[in-house]
Amino acid sequence: MEADEFAEFRKSLNKTQKQMAELLGVSIKAIHSYEQGWRVVPAHVERQIYFLVSHKRRDLTHFQPCWNIKKCPPEQRKECPAWEFRAGTLCWFINGTICEGVPQINWREKIRLCRECEVLASLLPRRIK
């Protein structure tokens, strides 16, 4: 996650830097550093940001699960943690999901793929995608 993205997400959540620090369980210096680009946003913080922004929307019931959107075959669904836990709108949050036919285990590689996917994109504010 880039510094400007982090700042945009914070603003979309209507949080001050201090409030964001408390929400994420990090120091306010960390928030400053993320937004200035002095520090890389850690994977666990990036995950929390995506979770909070995606769940800012009150009604997620009209979103299709990932396996329908991506038209995953039944044998692939059975192997995928998103299917196992019925987390079709949280597939981007779960490691080990089977996207593009292979398990996605590393967060950095996974989120790179997820950022291009319509499942996550549909949950984020339009200007941030």
E strands along the chain, which residues?
Answer: 97-99, 102-104
User: Could you please report the per-residue DSSP string of 28-65?
Assistant: HHHHHHHHHTSSPPPHHHHHHHHHHHHTTSS--TTSPP
Strand partners, 69: none
pLDDT 10s digits, 12-50: 899 999 999 998 999 999 999 999 999 999 989 998 998
Domain ranges of the chain: 3-54, 66-123
Tell if the pTM clears 0.85, that is, is over it. no
pLDDT for residue 14: 92
Confidence of residue 103 (pLDDT cuts 50, 70, 90): confident
Residues 95 and 44: beta-carbon distance below 8 Å: no
Cβ-based neighbour number of residue 17 at 10 Å: 16
* Residues 3-54, CATH architecture: Orthogonal Bundle (1.10)
pLDDT for residue 95: 84
